[in-house]
Structure 1
Amino acid sequence: MGASGWSYYVAYQPDLQVALDGLRRQVFETGDYWWAVPYEYGKSAADFPNRPMTEAELWADESVQESGTHSILDMSRILADGEEPGYGTIQPVIEAEAIEYLGTRKLTRSHVEAIEPLANRSWFGRCAVLHDADGNPSEIYFWGSSGD
């Protein structure tokens, strides 16, 4: 099947891990992920009333562990500044990157296309705080790719 790209916008909140945890909860509860057990392409877990009712139940299945969910559920934590990116992690775009790549400290939705290449490997994600027209943080953009 190969990896799938995914992206999400969530309301801004200063703790990126709390934002990630809330997004993961929402994606799981709505079934907006690929479930490896029925192995049906083009369908989400929401299409199956017998899908797992807890994340522990979902991840207990070896098929899911190997194939992932092709969603934010495959990401577990936000990296700290200077921490090396790894499997299942989200690395925030830092101010220095924003300045280097886009010449600005405050990213907006208009910058999303330009920053997407920063998530350049599978089973890895990025996030960026996006700002409104007045320069205030307004949302967080999560993107990356995962799954096999």
Structure 2
Amino acid sequence: MDYQADVNAALQQLRQQVYERGDYYRESRDPDLDMTEDEFRASLAPRDTDPERYDAIVEDWLERRSGPTPIDPDTLVEAQPRSGTHSIIDMVNGVSAEPAFATVSPLADDNLIYTFDTVKPSASQVEAWMGTDIAGERDRWVGTYIISYHDGRPAHIHFGGHSGD
């Protein structure tokens, strides 16, 4: 992504682009959600065999059925709370100074120097590094961003990380 001073704005723009391209994991639609409540209840074992389990199953079904219909990155994440999207869309908490759940944060200067021998890596250096397995850099559901430079000036913002399984 081309550099812009507001990293959070760049993140939100990228999340929207990924959503519009459909470049994310989609949960398979559960055919049970197309049933009426009466049909779903009829498909279960009788309530008197295990009333607590029966009630829990119905409650879960009702909750899943009432979930939002995705119309943007945020409602997509709400619609897939168990799996996420396996994409930048999962970074719903924006940008943080330090690594945190569902955020992107910069790679620290000492990590930049260790990885690139500079705090101002080129785009090709960052792209080559991101082409490797960067999963060990951060926990799942914690994203990274790196600003690459051209002629000493910020040129691009690179986002990376792993969410989902």
Superposition TM-score, scaled by structure 2 size: 0.64
How far does residue 71 in structure 1 lie from its aligned partner after superposition? 0.4
Pair 1:135 & 2:152 matched = yes
Contact 1:24 1:73 in 2 (8 A): yes
User: Which has more radius of gyration?
Assistant: 2
CA contact (8 A) 2:106 2:145 kept: yes
1:68-114 CA-to-partner distances (Å, cap 9, x unmatched) read 1010001121112xx3x222111112334322433212111232234
Q: Provide, for residues 119-145 of structure 1, a one-character-per-residue CA deviation record: whole Å limited to 9, x for no partner.
A: 33211110000111x121111110100
Give unmatched runs, 5+ long, in structure 1: 1-9, 40-50
1:146 is matched with: 163
Indicate the residue corresponding to 1:3 in structure 2: none
Determine helix, strand or coil for the equivalent of 1:65.
coil
User: Following the alignment from structure 2 to structure 1, what is the Cα–Cα distance between the partners of residues 72 and 129?
Assistant: 36
Letter in 1 for 2:3: Y
More strand by share: 1
Change (3 A) 1:88 1:56: closer
Q: How does 1:51-90 map to 2 (within 5 A)?
A: 52-61=70-79, 64-76=80-92, 77-80=94-97, 83=98, 85-90=99-104
Task: Tell me the CA shift for residue 30 of structure 1.
Answer: 1.9
Distance change in 2, residues 1:57/1:110 (3 Å): closer
Paired residues in the alignment total 122
Structure 2 vs 1, CA of residues 56 and 78 (structure 1 numbering), >3 Å: closer, same or farther? closer
Asked if 1:126 is matched to 2:144, the reply is: yes
**Matched residue of 2:9: which SS?**
helix
Distance in 1 (CA, whole Å) between partners of 2:91 and 2:77 is 12
Q: Greater helix percent: which structure? A: 2
Following the alignment from structure 1 to structure 2, what is the Cα–Cα distance between the partners of residues 57 and 89? 17
Identify the structure with bigger relative contact order (alpha carbons < 8 Å, sequence gap 6+).
1
Residues 119, 125 of structure 1: 8 Å contact kept? no
Cα 1:55–1:107 change in 2 (3 A) is same
Please give the TM-score of this superposition, normalised by the length of structure 1: 0.70
Structure 2 unaligned segments of length 5 or more: list them: 31-68
SS of equivalent to 1:128: strand
